[in-house]
Amino acid sequence: MIQEAQLTIDLNSLAHNYTCLRSKLKEDTALIAVVKANAYGADGARIAQELAKLGTKHFAVAYTAEAVVLREANIKEDIMVFYPQLGQLERIIEYQLEPVLYTLEIIKAFLLLLKQKNLKDYPVHIKCNTGLNRIGLSQEDLIFFLKEMDTTSMNIKSIYSHLGASENPKPCLFTQQQINAFEIVKQTVKEYCPILPKFHLLNSSGVFNYPEHQLDAVRVGIALYGFANQAEWDLELRPIAKLSAPICQIHRVKKGENVGYNQGWKATQDSRIGIIPIGHADGIGRQYGHGVGNVQIVGQTAPIIGNVCMDMLMIDLGSIRCDVGTEVILFDKNTTAADFAATGNTISYEILAGLNYRIQRVYQ
Ligand SMILES: *Cc1c(COP(=O)(O)O)cnc(C)c1O
């Protein structure tokens, strides 16, 4: 019986997704497994261990602290840090992490650090901006970097960029412009670098939409966890996560009575209300409630009513046969995290990444 809010992770589905992605790649295209945000809620260290067993050689996280957690969990593979901050560069070296350098300032600071520590051939990656205009070197900065800076203390392992609309239907002018801009990046690098780094561009949806641009590596996150941002691509994958919780109390309320904070819901008839021990602090946002968002109980659907609370939410049980202790499913393989997200007007990424530490993780 389920004891409390629980995220059940299906490791066979993780393996299925990994194999599915690998099958879309040429043998010499590397798969960089993105395990940031606690592996999209599933637990970074545990998922990295599983992916390492499946053959993953390269991991990526967003921030340095996430990579430190992986190292402390004994992950020995390469760990790329997408967005290291200036103040974290010492830690990057201390934990033998591979920073992505994305501004001239951060490159200068890192070069200085390597010099002070007398380090040679330190593995780094360079991020170029090709139109997303989030982070990355401009074409001008890239040329300055390659032409003017002494990079002998670095091993530039890869130079990459990131697509801003890889899931949009083709032809997509914006994506094509990014692909063209990255082609110019590659030409520039070829002009100045005697030893060529690897090049990469694609995230999960990119692997499905633009496999011809897989280049030397792809950086896949969400697809490992079962989603690719288009219904037809999702069919090839299996959502790994099921979020469920037990009913912890049932109330019978009379017509006209209220439920929850600020009288968020008023019974229009005598009703049975189920209390579920999961709320904002677990990652269930304010947009749910008032009939937005459903849960599944013994194969039937019940709406989330009133205001979601910090630790709890309420559902209208109608005439569903259930009891205290009955499992309530927020999402699983059938009603997926993408479906649950869509009812709340958001995307699977937000729901999965927002699942908090308090939810028990169970692996099977
Ligand atoms: C998060 C991230 C990815 C992974 O994206 P998915 O859509 O989850 O596959 C790839 N590259 C960068 C730079 C990222 O920040």
CATH number of the domain at 273, please.
2.40.37.10
pLDDT tens readout for residues 112-169 = 999 999 999 999 999 999 999 999 999 999 999 999 999 999 999 999 999 999 999 9
One domain, residues 291 and 218: no
One domain, residues 221 and 249: no
Q: What is the pLDDT, as a whole number, of residue 92?
A: 98
**Residue entry with tokens 């999702």:** 234
Ligand 1 mutation target, pool 203, 222, 225, most atoms within 8 A of CB: 203
Q: What is the pLDDT, as a whole number, of residue 263?
A: 96
Compute the average pLDDT of residues 266-276.
Answer: 98
Whether the CB of 214 sits within 6 Å of ligand 1: no
Out of 174, 197, 227, a domain closes at: 227
Whether the CB of 222 sits within 6 Å of ligand 1: yes
One domain, residues 53 and 83: yes
One domain, residues 152 and 29: yes
State percent of the chain over pLDDT 90.
99
pLDDT tens readout for residues 66-94 = 999 999 999 999 999 999 999 999 999 99
Q: What is the pLDDT, as a whole number, of residue 96?
A: 98
One domain, residues 248 and 202: no
Ligand 1 mutation target, pool 80, 219, 222, 347, most atoms within 8 A of CB: 219
The residue among 159, 176, 177 whose CA lies nearest residue 215 is: 159
Q: What is the pLDDT, as a whole number, of residue 1?
A: 84
Out of 227, 258, 279, a domain closes at: 227
Ligand 1 mutation target, pool 36, 38, 82, most atoms within 8 A of CB: 82
| DSSP code of residue 289 | B
pTM: 0.98
Answer yes or no: is 235 within a domain: no
Answer yes or no: is 261 within a domain: yes
300: three-class secondary structure by DSSP: strand
311: three-class secondary structure by DSSP: coil
One domain, residues 86 and 127: yes
CATH classification of the domain holding 184? 3.20.20.10
**Residue entry with tokens 């439920």:** 259
113: three-class secondary structure by DSSP: helix
Count of C-beta atoms within a 10 Å radius of residue 188: 17
How remote is the CA of residue 82 from the centroid of ligand 1, in Å? Answer: 9
One domain, residues 183 and 253: no
One domain, residues 201 and 252: no
One domain, residues 280 and 150: no
Whether the CB of 33 sits within 6 Å of ligand 1: no
How remote is the CA of residue 269 from the centroid of ligand 1, in Å? Answer: 48
The residue among 43, 39, 50, 67 whose CA lies nearest residue 16 is: 50
For residue 64, the surrounding DSSP H or E stretch is helix 64-72
Whether the CB of 200 sits within 6 Å of ligand 1: no
What's the sign of the alpha-carbon dihedral 162, 165, 171, 176? negative
Whether the CB of 233 sits within 6 Å of ligand 1: no
How remote is the CA of residue 213 from the centroid of ligand 1, in Å? Answer: 16
One domain, residues 277 and 142: no
Out of 180, 204, 227, a domain closes at: 227
Give the largest CA-CA distance in the chain.
Answer: 78
How remote is the CA of residue 205 from the centroid of ligand 1, in Å? Answer: 10
Q: What is the pLDDT, as a whole number, of residue 51?
A: 98
Q: Whose CA is nearest to atom 4 of ligand 1?
A: 221
What confidence tier does 181 reach under pLDDT thresholds 50, 70, 90? very high
How remote is the CA of residue 37 from the centroid of ligand 1, in Å? Answer: 11
Answer yes or no: is 119 within a domain: yes
Whether the CB of 220 sits within 6 Å of ligand 1: yes
Q: Which two tokens stand for residue 183?
A: 């082609």
Q: Provide the domain limits for residue 106.
A: 11-227
Q: Which two tokens stand for residue 306?
A: 């009133």
Answer yes or no: is 55 within a domain: yes
How remote is the CA of residue 83 from the centroid of ligand 1, in Å? Answer: 12
Looking at the structure of the chain, the number of domains it has is 2
Q: Are 360 and 48 in contact (CB under 8 A)?
A: no
One domain, residues 85 and 222: yes
Average pLDDT of every residue of the chain: 98
Answer yes or no: is 3 within a domain: no
Whether the CB of 208 sits within 6 Å of ligand 1: no
Whether the CB of 204 sits within 6 Å of ligand 1: yes
One domain, residues 301 and 200: no
Q: Are 238 and 16 in contact (CB under 8 A)?
A: yes
For residue 94, the surrounding DSSP H or E stretch is helix 89-94
Whether the CB of 203 sits within 6 Å of ligand 1: yes
How remote is the CA of residue 293 from the centroid of ligand 1, in Å? Answer: 27
| DSSP code of residue 357 | T
Closest-lying ligand 1 atom to the alpha carbon of residue 166: 7
Residue 350 has pLDDT above 90, yes or no: yes
Compute the average pLDDT of residues 223-234.
Answer: 97
Closest-lying ligand 1 atom to the alpha carbon of residue 223: 9
Answer yes or no: is 2 within a domain: no
Answer yes or no: is 233 within a domain: no
What's the sign of the alpha-carbon dihedral 118, 119, 121, 124? negative
How remote is the CA of residue 292 from the centroid of ligand 1, in Å? Answer: 29
List of E strands, 85-240: 98-101, 122-127, 154-160, 198-202, 217-220
